[in-house]
Amino acid sequence: MTARWLRFAAIAAASLALLSRPAAAQQILRDAETEAFMADMSAPLVQAAGMEPRNVQVLVINDPNINAFVAGGQYVWVHSGLIAAADNVNQVQGVVAHELGHIEGGHVIRYGEGMKEATGITLLSLVLGAAAIAAGGAEAGMGILGMGQQAAMGKFLAFSRAQESSADLAGARYLSKAGVSGKGSLEFFKKLQNQEYRLAIPQDDSYGRTHPLSGERINVLREVYTVDPAWDKPMDPKLEARFERIKAKLVGFVSEPSQTLLKYPESDQSLPAHYARAYAWHKSAYPDKALAEVDALLAAAPHDPYFLELKGQVLLESGKPADAIPPLREAVQLTNQPLIATLLGHALIATENDANFAEAEKVLRNAIARDRENPFAWYQLGVVYEHRGDLPRAALATAERYSMMGEDQMALRSADAAMQGLKPGTVDYLRAQDIAMVSRAAVEQKRKKR
């Protein structure tokens, strides 16, 4: 897992699902356990920043680079590569605190201010340069143009560095207020500094960069963090244990199985290692080995909802949907998580047993009520409607799905088809009408651009 234009990738029904966001050309990893962990980990920081935790989401993107960013709204996007590179939960908290500083500072909105100033310098240099050229001073005119572009870029880069420094200090303030140590923040900046060394980035001057050099940031923040009362406060052991699980899970899902098995060899009998290997074996199409790892997890924690979810996923995607239903039912009962409920709905439908379709509709409708922005849930609900002969609502579910995926033409066709069979004035009819109106406007806009 918010504004998500999502579509499921090859492993569409996976509990750890890979989704694409066409607008940002990014792939979002949606997973019930990961999203719950990110929410709990960041909640004290969000509150310290004066924001409401339920309105802020920290989501993971499938990208091996060490990065995190904000891009509008109250959403923090963290790359899977950053989680894999982090040594502990405190380091991730430091990064999230920094990104919250960008949100509180309105830096995405103010980005236009920096661009405006830089553009003003560029336009002025164009006017002066053109005047010089017209007066016969071609060489002088070209010099003015070149200096103007350089000055504009320098102005914008300085603006960007100022925003980054502001977010650093804001993040330090949130960590302090939340009673979270800044050690992880400094440790992570040191990781970035080592990366800069490997890339042979000069360490004497940050001019010409969008971010201050990591060494500069470390020197400033060290003075702030080391005198803070929370500096020597230990990490929450339960939160750290959850982080180790999440990290192993992500590594198992996004990495090549051979790499996962090197990082988490059979000799490692810890819960995170079993977790990572379960995904590695499942990706390699060895369901028996994957289930053996899951059973080891359940032997240690028989009613852990996320271990039950994984068992259901492996069974479902190994062609045993009926066997997947009991563990998934229990996982839904324990968590009420819409992503897990969607997986249960898929398993019920995949049995092709008519007796299971009523339950599938119930769990899918409940899942969508709590998370409307899950295209795969809409797809499954459409299958249920079509199975019972309710073609207008099947078309409406399809319209919802295509609308989230950014497929405006298909969303429009499906919404129009839904309205043909729905009673005017009903909630479903009005929803189909809304999708049709928005999709039609988007289609017309694309047509004008072409």
The answer to whether residue 311 is domain-embedded is no
| Pair of tokens at residue 283 | 């990706």
What does pTM read for this prediction? 0.79
Among the candidates 190, 225, 260, a domain finishes at: 225
Range of the domain at 46: 17-105
252-295 pLDDT per residue, tens: 999 999 999 999 999 999 999 999 999 999 999 999 999 999 99
Same domain for 188 and 199? yes
Does residue 124 share a domain with residue 213? yes
Contact 8, 339 (CB under 8 A): no
**Residue 22: CATH number of its domain:** 3.30.2010.10
85 and 190 within one domain: no
**Using one digit for the tens of pLDDT, what is the confidence trace for 332-380?**
999 999 999 999 999 999 999 999 999 999 999 999 999 998 999 999 9
User: Are 120 and 43 found together in one domain?
Assistant: no
Q: Looking at the 3D structure of the chain, how many domains does it have?
A: 2
Average pLDDT over residues 304-324: 97
Q: Please indicate, yes or no, if residue 143 is contained in any of the structural domains.
A: yes
Residues 158 and 200 in one domain: yes
In a domain, 405, yes or no: no
Q: Over the stretch 157-205, which tens digit does the pLDDT of each residue have?
A: 444 556 687 788 898 999 999 999 999 998 988 887 777 656 555 555 5
Mean pLDDT score of the chain, rounded to an integer?
82
**pLDDT of 369-428, one tens digit each?**
999 989 999 999 999 999 999 999 999 999 999 999 999 999 999 999 999 999 999 999
Is residue 318 one of the residues assigned to a domain? Answer: no
- Tell me if 263 is assigned to some domain: no
pLDDT of residue 212: 63
> Per the domain annotation, does 80 fall within a domain?
yes
Last residue of a domain, one of 179, 209, 225: 225
Query: Is 275 domain-assigned?
Result: no
CB burial of residue 358 (10 Å; 0-12, 13-18, 19+): exposed
Q: How do residues 287-310 score in pLDDT, each as one tens digit?
A: 999 999 999 999 999 999 999 999
Residue 219 has pLDDT above 80, yes or no: yes
pLDDT of 140 strictly over 60: no
pLDDT tens readout for residues 98-123: 889 888 755 444 444 434 443 443 44
